[in-house]
């Protein structure tokens, strides 16, 4: 087996890690849920800045919606809002501002939502909870806005 083929196989195994597959499954379920509720999906897994990623970017009327998706196998793994702590909110705000600058977008309104998907691929239909306007833009970035 050549070195190139070995490296390709290594990356394929890494992409198919179970926890990553579960997260992507949750993001697909969340996107389907948001579309059904009138949110137009603009982007998924959007890289913004050097280290930041936004799970879903959507548009609802004149509002640009940045969505953080939290996938949980069951209820015992915590609540979605507890996973979006102060540092995570700061990183999401930074990513949103980087996205707006990169795309040269000046929306009238922005909103940060959290979508919780409880379930796993191949199991029962997931339970989906949507927290609209879960938190405001971090104060460090409001001056820019």
18-142: CATH topology is Trna Endonuclease; Chain: A, domain 1 (3.40.1350)
Q: What is residue 19's DSSP assignment?
A: H
pLDDT digits (tens, 9 = 90+) for 18-57: 556 778 999 999 999 999 999 999 999 999 877 889 999 9
Per-residue pLDDT tens digits for 73-118: 887 766 666 678 889 999 999 999 999 989 998 888 999 999 999 9
Q: pLDDT (tens digit, 9 = 90+) per residue, 118-131?
A: 988 888 899 999 99
Q: Which of 21, 12, 13 is closest to 122 using CA atoms? A: 21
**Residue 105: predicted pLDDT:** 86
In 3D space, the residue among 42, 71, 66 whose CA is nearest the CA of residue 55 turns out to be 66
pLDDT band at 142 (very low <50, low <70, confident <90, very high): low
């Amino acid at each position: 087996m050549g070195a190139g083929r070995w490296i390709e196989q290594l990356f394929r195994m890494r992409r198919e890690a179970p926890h990553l597959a579960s997260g992507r499954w949750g993001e697909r379920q969340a996107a389907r849920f948001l579309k059904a509720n009138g949110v137009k999906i603009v982007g998924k897994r959007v890289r913004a800045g050097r280290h930041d990623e936004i799970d879903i970017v959507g548009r609802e009327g004149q509002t640009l919606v940045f969505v953080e998706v939290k996938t949980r196998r069951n209820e015992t793994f915590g609540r979605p809002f507890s996973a979006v702590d102060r540092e995570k909110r700061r990183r999401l705000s930074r990513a949103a501002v980087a996205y707006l600058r990169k795309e040269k977008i000046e929306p009238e309104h922005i909103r940060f939502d959290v979508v919780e998907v409880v379930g796993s691929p191949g199991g029962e239909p997931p339970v989906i909870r949507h927290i609209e306007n879960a938190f405001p833009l971090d104060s460090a970035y409001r001056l820019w806005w």
